[in-house]
Homo-oligomer: A and B are copies of this chain.
């Protein structure tokens, strides 16, 4: 599993928390987080377009792309775990999650996406999305293994 995030480096404190979940996660699955540098253009359209190029450059043709998107599908932690299991079963394609930049995704990314997932109906800061997502991916792994972490 890969997580692409269009973002500057988060503040040290938040990164420490994210890293703590990433470290645990790597005991369960292969996981590679990667930050993509936000565009320095001034217009929202140009920003989204430039950032879409960065995202597309990271993708292989057959990658299964899941956008973390406010307009995406809401899933429970158990449903997310089932989705992760399905993706793990499909060993022929990499699974790439993506958190967009401050202005969201360019249309070309929506067209390329295989699925859109929403972490909440609330709007989170992008860095908090990364923290919540990493925790959920870890939680999904413990659910799939029947471990005690998740109370449900």
Contacts and interface: CB of A to CB of B under 8 A. Distances in A.
A43 interface: no
Work out how many copies of this chain go into the complex.
Answer: 2
The listed residue with most B CB atoms (<10 A of its CB), out of A13, A120, A122, A152, is: A122
Contact of A76 (B103, B123, B125, B152): B123
A54 interface: no
Contacts of A131: 128
A29 interface: no
A46 interface: no
B122 A75 contact: yes
A119 B80 CA distance: 16
Contact of A123 (B17, B124, B128, B139): B139
Interface in A86-123: 102-103, 119-123
Nearest to A136: B122
Nearest to A44: B151
A50 interface: no
A58 interface: no
A77 interface: yes
Interface of A: 13-14, 16-17, 74-77, 80, 102-103, 119-125, 128, 131-132, 135-136, 139, 150-152
16 contacts: A13-B16, A13-B17, A74-B74, A74-B121, A75-B122, A120-B121, A120-B122, A120-B132, A122-B136, A123-B139, A123-B151, A123-B152, A124-B132, A128-B131, A128-B135, A132-B132
